[in-house]
Amino acid sequence: MRQQIAAAIQIVCQQSRMSDGTRKVTSISEITGMEGDVITIQEIFRFRQTGVDPEGRVTGQFEATGIRPRFIDQVMAHGVTLSADLFRPDAKFD
C-alpha cells in the first residue's frame, strides 16, 4: 500500500490553523520514493511565521528550502516555465 501511495502522489501540501484562527499552507513537500517501508519526502517550501500584527493576525512569509524538486522537469515538459531562482533558499514569497 505504501508503495502505491509513493508512486501515485508527488506533492503534499500541509495546512495548519494559526494562533489567530486562520488557516495557512505551512509546507509543500515532494514525495521522493521509498526507503524500505518508509515513504521519503523532501520539503520544498515552508511558511515561516515572523510575528503577529496589531490586529492579532499571524504574519510571515513562504520561503524556499533550497531543494529543487525532482518533478520540475515534468512540469516544464507540460509548458510551465519556472525560474530556477524560485527554489533558492533566500527566495521569499508573500
Q: Note the pTM of the prediction, 2 decimals.
A: 0.83
Q: Give residue-wise pLDDT tens across range 42-89.
A: 999 999 999 999 999 999 999 999 999 988 888 889 999 888 888 988
For residue 30, the one-letter residue type is E
Decide if 53 contacts 60 (C-beta within 8 A): no
**Backbone φ and ψ of 77, nearest 5°:** -65, -20
For residue 45, the one-letter residue type is F
Domain of 72 in residue numbering reads as 2-93
Q: Assign residue 81 a region: left if phi > 0, alpha if psi is -120 to 50, beta otherwise? A: beta
Number of domains into which the chain is organized:
1
d(CA 4, CA 36): 14
